[in-house]
Amino acid sequence: MRSPTSPPRPTRPPARRRRTRLVGGLVAFLLAVGAAPVYAADEVPNASVELAGPLTPTAPLGWSSDTWGGAKATFSWPTPGYEGDRYLRAEVSDPGSGDAKWWSDPFAAPSADKVWVSDVYRASVPTTLMVLWLGPANQQQFAVIAAAAPAADWTSVGGTVSVPTWAEQMRVMHVIGAVGWLDTDSYGVAAASPGPDVVQTADADAGAEDSVDPNFRPIVSLTFDDGWLSAYHKLIPEMNKRKLPGSHYIVAGFADTPGYGADYVSSDYVLQLARDGHEIGSHTMMHDNLVNLPIEQVLPNLQQSKQILGDFGINIVGFVPPFGEYNDAVQAHIETTYAYSRTVKAGINVEPYMTYELWGVVVTAEMTVADLAGWVEQARQMHGWLILIFHRADEDPPSESFVRPSVFAAMMDHLVAVDADVRPVGEVLGVWQWQPPVEEVVDVQTGKGFDQPDGVGKAYSAAGGDGGDGSDDGCTAGRRGGGAGALALVFAFSACLFGVMRRHRA
């Protein structure tokens, strides 16, 4: 086992995770849904690991598993725990050059010089209780709290550690780096009275930033997935009235496509959003689950949806994977095609932002204005960025994915009242700036006047001859005079094309 005074272990989280710290998801979510326990900012989230995640009911809220260095491990959340019903188990079959662990989501480091960190565990091999300190300039420092000897029965372990002056957040973890199993439960972090340090952390290169800026405006982004027509009709006007632009992730193949027009925005709505100052992003061609799609189809899907939406003369930089589903291979393609990607992981984003794994909070039919206010206040206290996720709207919500327009309007009033810094996602990241769509008049017959690959126009002709598909259905919805109509037609060409391709494939 390593000595308690050895340098921080160079444990290395996966590259994506390293880019940011996303904190407060638990606290904020509980505030949002009004669930029973509400944790103080400096407490380990879901410390007794009893609560299930809101989006992953089979996994513990506020905890995730991790391996590095080629370690092979399985993770589970079995019963009965030392305290309550549940505990965390990690079983390592091959430690490789690394280790395996459950670790807490980042949470605010206590404002104390030293803290006591502890858990209750049992293990077949020696293991290590550790923390990771996270600073505002992406500083990361692992610190060993205590070495834990093998123990067949539940055993307490803990130690004090100095809080680096630069540390804003921390994660708690119990690490297993050998073939064997480790069970943990009942994590705790508390301000400690001065005593012998287990570890003296070095903070020489850290920029101290202890003060909270009272003037910080919480950053809020209003995002809309799928392009539901009901949101366009019932929610967006409330934003426009208050000059609160949002980000809209459109399923490119739904717009102007027969059968989808009843529920989803058509190209002229998309254009109007762009004119009104909103950001447009992609949500794939056909709301595809990219993890289930053959990997060779993923990149074309990402590129085509971007091109179709971009053909409006709109700058498309953002992406949202449907169902929140992606893996490393998919993510690699997203990163080559888009400037950012937003997930549905609940939490508040804190700088430095994880550009390709932004967290958001799904606004459900049950969420109240007070719930929203709790989230915004969390973002303010954390100097964070709250991304809200909306889908569709109905005053009598048939399901959770709807929000009441009256509640939405009150939410918008609240954002204005607290002077939230409401901006589209791409603008917060500095990768997008609003500009009016390029409203270029297009000759419907020749396609001249817009820069379109040869294939599209040809395919449109083919579509016209495809059993009459192209003549009477939504493929011609954009056939109108005027710049906007012509541009809509460009969109219609593309949507139609892919509609035809889809029919041929089916």
Q: Which residues bind Zn ion (CB under 5 A)?
A: 225-226, 322
Shorter beta-carbon distance to Zn ion: residue 226 or 311: 226
Least distance from C-beta 140 to Zn ion, angstroms? Answer: 33
Peptide bond into 164 cis (omega under 30): no
159: tokens are 């130690």
Shorter beta-carbon distance to Zn ion: residue 166 or 498:
498
Q: Where are the beta strands (DSSP E) in 105-204?
A: 107-108, 114-123, 127-134, 140-148, 151-162, 169-176, 180-191
Residues 90 and 181: beta-carbon distance below 8 Å? yes
Query: What would the two tokens of residue 336 be?
Result: 């080559």
In whole angstroms, give the CA distance from residue 361 to residue 343: 9
The token pair that represents 75 in the structure block: 């993770």
Which residue number has the CB closest to Zn ion? 225
The residue (of 239 and 344) whose beta carbon lies closer to Zn ion is 344
Shortest approach of Zn ion to residue 393 CB, angstroms?
15
Min dist. Cβ of residue 223 to Zn ion (A): 11
In angstroms, give the least distance from the CB of 456 to Zn ion: 25
**Nearest of 114, 117, 53, 115 to residue 86 by alpha carbon:** 53
d(CA 241, CA 90): 52
- The distance of closest approach from Cβ of residue 321 to Zn ion in the complex, given in angstroms and rounded to an integer, is 9
Q: How far is the CB of 389 from Zn ion (least distance, A)?
A: 9
What the block records as the tokens of 93 is 């079959």
Tell the smallest beta-carbon distance from residue 287 to Zn ion (Å): 6
Minimum CB distance to Zn ion smaller for 259 or for 455: 259
Which C-beta is closer to Zn ion: that of 105 or that of 226?
A: 226
SS3 362: strand
CB closer to Zn ion out of 117 and 250: 250
In DSSP notation, 184-221 reads: EEEEEEEE--S---SBPPP-TTPPP-----TTPPPEEE
Our CB check for Zn ion shows the closer of 30 and 309 to be 309
CA distances to 342, 462, 463, 472 from 504, in Å: 32, 12, 11, 18
Complex with Zn ion: residue 43 or 226, whichever CB lies closer = 226
- Compute the least distance from the CB of residue 291 to Zn ion, in Å: 14
In which element (H, E) is residue 501 found? helix 482-505
